Amino acid sequence: MTIRPIRRTLAAVAAVLALTPAAQADTLADALVGAYNTSGLLEQNRAVLRAADEDVAQAVSALRPVLSWSADITRDFGTSRGSNSLGAVARSASNTASVGLVAELTLYDFGQNRLAIDGAKEAVLATRQGLVSIEQQILLRAVTAFFEVRRATETVALRQNNLRLITQELRAAQDRFEVGEVTRTDVSLAEARLAQARANLAAAQGELRAAQEEYRVATGRTPGPLSQPSRVPDLPPDRNSAVAIALRGHPDLLQAQHLVRVAELSIARAEAAMKPTISLTGRLGVTEDFDNDSFSHGGSIGIESTGPIYQGGRLSSLVRQAMANRDEQRGNLHVVRLTIEQNVTNALIQLNVARASEDANADQVRAADVAFRGIREEATLGARTTLDVLNAEQELLDARAALISANVDEFIAAYRVLATMGRLTARDLGLNVQRYDPAAYYNLVKDAPAVSQQGQQLNRVLRALGKE
């Protein structure tokens, strides 16, 4: 497709815009950076990812010793009367204190805890891909908001120019009416078109304000003058190439694959839960009597084995449930794959339609402009009516508006193709932003740090995220 002739035509259409120099105008990259840095949805899902990271730390803790303590102070008191005490009542009281330590370490559980760790890690990887998918949605919304503001801005300028032209036509019709060249009907037609032009301008201005508000929400920036990108992004040469790229790296597909793995690990874990667990246990206790010198110190160490015998079918039900969840995720993986292929195809179709429409509308603008100039000249010679001039002008206006929309649709469709391929990310676009590192938090919490150097590093990460 040849872009240059169309761009020249669009430049002629947009010449009515009173824009500041391009150096002062916001670019598409500015809009994307603003969206990435200010999106509350991105921040929300980053927190979801950090919560998933903690699941790994909690699963890892099951492989480590568990040490707990208990302490109590007890006062026992009472009265009693025995059968041989001649009715005497005896009172008693004692004060004791005890401290105990219990340690437990799982020695062998047929892989239950290891499977839980692997499942938590797969869930983290799935959540990371979900975050990438959200990032694409945020950036595509910013792209759409950017070009919708440009569409609305150029439409307002077009409507303003049309209003000026119709005002001139009305004045010409009034002048010709005064000298008897046209009838009152011609003047009324021009007046009606002027009123319609004013209404159309008001509607376009309302659409511009709505587009500006969407831009502010999507990017965190108030829109000023927006510069037109020089060209659409580079895309694969054909549909098959685009689909191949999408099936290799689209975050939705990768997320679905990780969820299948999570479900498969859940089956293995449910089956392992039906087997015994062997643990090493140790106990140490001290008891002191405050009322005398009696005390007891003692402890124990041993190996315990526990396992289910009968739970009313609960464990078997959990296995079947895990299998059903696995089948669900496999089905979802198939659906996601088909949806991605369909989305890529549809986005490419929209892009091709927009390009074809742009070509056709450019030709229409050139032809309608020639026709309008000719009809207006003929009208001055009395060969055309005022209605002919107004109709020709309306056709030219419609053609120019359609060209503007087709150009905007081309850019939006091109970036939508990137999104369907999984390539609309800050990394792929080369945005000048501080990209969120999903591994930074995970690498610190995966070993379940307590008060340590690692824990201090974790605190610094949280402070950098604004969470402390």
* pLDDT category of residue 449 using cuts at 50, 70 and 90: low
**CB-side neighbour CA atoms (13 Å) of 417:** 26
The pLDDT value recorded for residue 347 is 95
Residues 46, 437: Cα–Cα separation, whole Å: 10
Distance (Å) of CA 181 to CA 130, 189, 193 = 71, 15, 20
Q: What is the DSSP string of 12-77?
A: HHHTT--PPPGGGSBPHHHHHHHHHHH-HHHHHHHHHHHHHHHHHHHHHHTTS-EEEEEEEEEEEE
Residues 138, 133: Cα–Cα separation, whole Å: 9
Asked whether residue 450 is domain-assigned, the answer is no
Q: If you ran DSSP here, which 8-state letter would residue 226 be given?
A: B
Of residues 355 and 385, the one with the higher pLDDT is 355
Q: Phi, psi at residue 179, to the nearest 5°? A: -95, 5
Asked whether residue 81 is domain-assigned, the answer is no
* pLDDT category of residue 32 using cuts at 50, 70 and 90: very high
The pLDDT value recorded for residue 448 is 53
Residues 6+ apart with CB under 8 A from 180: none
**Number of structural domains the chain divides into:** 1
Tell whether the model's pLDDT for residue 9 goes beyond 50. Answer: no
Mean residue pLDDT of the chain comes to 85
**CB-side neighbour CA atoms (13 Å) of 290:** 11
Q: In angstroms, how far is CA 190 from the centroid of its own chain?
A: 50
> Average pLDDT of 99-118?
92
Give per-residue pLDDT as tens, 248-265.
999 999 999 999 999 999
Tell whether the model's pLDDT for residue 240 goes beyond 50. Answer: yes
Residues 372, 400: Cα–Cα separation, whole Å: 13
Asked whether residue 453 is domain-assigned, the answer is no
**CB-side neighbour CA atoms (13 Å) of 299:** 10
Residues 467, 450: Cα–Cα separation, whole Å: 18
> Average pLDDT of 96-112?
91
Asked whether residue 208 is domain-assigned, the answer is yes
Among 122-131, 152-161, 381-390, the minimum mean pLDDT is found in: 381-390
Residues 428, 235: Cα–Cα separation, whole Å: 12
Q: Are 383 and 446 in contact, with CB atoms under 8 Å apart?
A: no
Query: In which domain, by residue range, is 406 found?
Result: 4-15+26-75+91-436
Asked whether residue 138 is domain-assigned, the answer is yes
Asked whether residue 441 is domain-assigned, the answer is no
Give per-residue pLDDT as tens, 405-447.
899 999 999 999 999 999 999 999 999 988 888 888 888 776 6
Asked whether residue 462 is domain-assigned, the answer is no
Residues 198, 160: Cα–Cα separation, whole Å: 9
- CATH number of the domain enclosing 208: 1.20.1600.10
Q: Are 318 and 381 in contact, with CB atoms under 8 Å apart?
A: no
Asked whether residue 422 is domain-assigned, the answer is yes
pTM (2 d.p.): 0.81
The pLDDT value recorded for residue 4 is 39
The pLDDT value recorded for residue 339 is 96
Give per-residue pLDDT as tens, 320-354.
999 999 999 999 999 999 999 999 999 999 999 99
